[in-house]
A and B are shown apart, each in its own frame.
Chain A
Amino acid sequence: MGQAIRDAGIRKVSQARQRILDRLRQGLADPKIPWPPADTPPLTPGEHMHVATLRAEDAGLEQRFAAELEKLHGSSDIADSMVAARMFTVQKILEWLDDTGPRRVLAWSELNSWLPGLEENLFDRDVEVVVPESLNSLDTRGDLQEIRVGITGVEVAFAATGSVLLKSTPGQSRSASLLPLNHIALIPGTRLLPNVETWLEQHQQDGSLGHAIRNSANLTLVSGPSKSADIESKLTLGVHGPKELHAVLYPAAG
């Protein structure tokens, strides 16, 4: 980001800014205001409670993740090898691609780095893997609308809530997990943690938390398929995002 852009942003400073900050400071300086108390300390890192946690009866991280995701109307396969994971993945994709629609999937780049051989497997089954470099034009997006399946990896996944954290980077589109009706997420065991607090603490400890949050334009925590209860409190799926979310969990090689 260039210095010029930064300056332009800061020069946006208006009278409003000064007046608002002044009023707040004046209000806070008045000892008679009943709230907030003068001496409330912050929550220090490490003090935050773990809100959702593993339980003694959880068989393992994978099992807990799968159970939680199922409660959220998602589904999953737990594979005991990468080969099995590839098989589950291809199987699910073929199930979703029915004969009427295009045999195309919208994917993150380098699927083989998530599951070696996956791209070849899909090619063999006559499935085209679409990895857009840039989604700017409405035309491209209109074309992508026909694609019914999205494939992504994950930045990290959390067992206690059945959630996956997706990070936007060059090669990792937001669209792949958002536009298609079905989304499959590949989760190597090395990226599966008990809960979000564990992840926050890990980054806090090595001083990389700020970077982890802001070094990409977007982070999205996804827990299950898109849903709504706006109509008479009844569950409906696939309102805007995917109607189905399937996770494949597998041990990572070496």
Chain B
Amino acid sequence: MRSRIDIEAPFKTRVKQAVDDPLLADTLTRATLHLKEQKRLSLEELESQRLRDQMRQMKAHTLRNLPELLERFEHNVVMNGGQVHWAEDADEANRIIGELAERHHVRKVVKSKSMATEEIHLNRHLEAKGITCVETDLGEYIIQLAAEIPSHIVAPVIHKRIDEISDLFADKLSMPRTLDPQALCARARVELRQEFLSADMGISGCNFAIADTGTVCIVTNEGNGRMVSTLPRVYVAVMGIEKLVPTPQDAFLQYQSLTRSATGQRVTVYLSMTSGPRRPEDVDGPEEFHVVLMDNGRSRMLADGYGESLMCIRCGACLNVCPVYRQISGHGYGNTYSGPIGAVISPLLSEEMAHNKDLPYASTLCGACRDACPVQIDLPKMLLNLRHDLVSGRNMPGTERRAMQGFVGVTSRPAAYQAAARVARTGTRLLSGFGDRNLRRLPPPLHHWTRQRDFPPMAKQSFREWWAKRSGTRGSAK
């Protein structure tokens, strides 16, 4: 069954559709709460703050030295027998991969989940060339059967109930209906194994790559990452230029930070580290190994003052704690990257810029995302900067402009903000009887703002404290 959210619809319509779907809200709340609980349990076991600090330092160092690390990585991939391609934007990345596929007479591609390839709409591009693309994550496979786009960075079918999945398997694979997840999984294994064995090319993203050794690392639980990087003749890894880490030690630090933040596991089942194509006497492995290094707006984000968001390790923790995400689900964002991080980076990535000016408003600035982030990225600060940049510099629809002018106005006049926030707090309390539902309307001048987004329950650090800090630390990003 299709999601009830029409992803082609304008942002406002998508939000309304999502909020009005009680089943969806219920499924999402259950799934995100489960992930949150898992995460809490394992984080208690370790010096979580130290891990966050080391991660932040390592990622900041990496960004500061990114040009040199990219050159070192390229050199090492080539020394390992692999090939490196540079793509300025989505079109160029698609063209490179399309040409590789043509050169190798590829008819079928198997893929493991990759936000990078979603970002550039690679499947669409390859399919236009008559190449079949098979998504092989169980969740992505189900989505592909249902012809949707993923709704969550780490758990793509978070919004589907098992009876819907069973209906889908009955419809598309003629499988008898069942409510047993293991039976559905076993069926998918059989279907997908045939695809792996007959594919000519494997494509994955890259969770991180080691500059010192030219090694591409992918993290999976199902093993499809191993399949796509082992069985087909040609293996292509597509990665944003920010995915590097300097050393193997840094890689294992990030690996463990990622698994804990993403799903609360100490380890994932598989961490596949590829350093080049199969060696001469090897039993198996791809004959060719290609890495596509993709910019697609990232270097500009750095120059425009949004460099901090390039430290994101795509763990999805900020989504799980986000009240807006819980209300509207990934599809409400209508983008590859959803949740708070998606609201920041989607408008900044070249391909998606045009229709994403709404997204920085799809957040309540409650701060929960920053508290959850394993790299401590200050997402609320960046969202606010982005709103400011959009209001001051670029054209946007009338309502958006008025809403933002109201917002900027009130936050720069403390008395007005405090008055509004008082009402918001009362409202939050009054509405608590409705579970997660947040306050739907603020008094003027903020009412334009809440026309489109709910006001959140107040977070650990109040907006005022956060604002004060922000005013003190904000650089002069344009």
Contacts and interface: CB of A to CB of B under 8 A. Distances in A.
Interface of A: 1, 5-6, 8-10, 12-14, 16-17, 19-21, 23-28, 30, 32-38, 40-43, 45, 47-49, 51-52, 68, 72, 132-135, 138, 141-142, 145, 161-163, 168-175, 178, 196-197, 200, 204, 209-210, 213-214, 216-242
Contact of A219 (B61, B157, B184, B273): B273
A142 to B, nearest CB: 6
Contacts of B295: 16, 20, 23
Interface string B182-196: 101110110011001
B51 A6 contact: no
A17 B263 CA distance: 35
B249 interface: yes
Interface in B68-90: 70-71, 76-88
Nearest to A196: B252
Given A28-B64, A210-B248, A238-B189, 15 more contacts: A14-B86, A32-B476, A34-B308, A43-B249, A135-B283, A145-B197, A173-B283, A174-B226, A178-B230, A214-B80, A214-B215, A217-B277, A217-B282, A219-B272, A240-B193
A233 B31 contact: yes
Interface residues of B, number: 119
28 contacts: A1-B79, A9-B82, A10-B78, A14-B85, A16-B88, A20-B88, A24-B70, A24-B241, A27-B307, A34-B474, A35-B60, A36-B60, A37-B64, A40-B64, A43-B249, A168-B282, A168-B284, A172-B283, A174-B284, A196-B252, A213-B213, A216-B275, A216-B279, A221-B271, A229-B155, A236-B182, A238-B185, A240-B224
A28 to B, nearest CB: 7
B308 to A, nearest CB: 4
Contacts of A19: 88
B212 interface: yes
A240 B227 contact: yes
A9 B83 contact: yes
B66 interface: yes
A225 B269 contact: yes
SS of A interface (majority): loop
Given A9-B83, A20-B299, A217-B276, A178 B227 contact: yes
Contacts, number: 326
B57 interface: yes
Contact of B221 (A25, A172, A210, A228): A228
Given A138-B197, A241-B223, A32 B475 contact: yes
B98 interface: no
Given A219-B273, A238-B186, A238-B189, A30 B303 contact: yes
B250 A43 contact: yes
B256 A240 contact: no
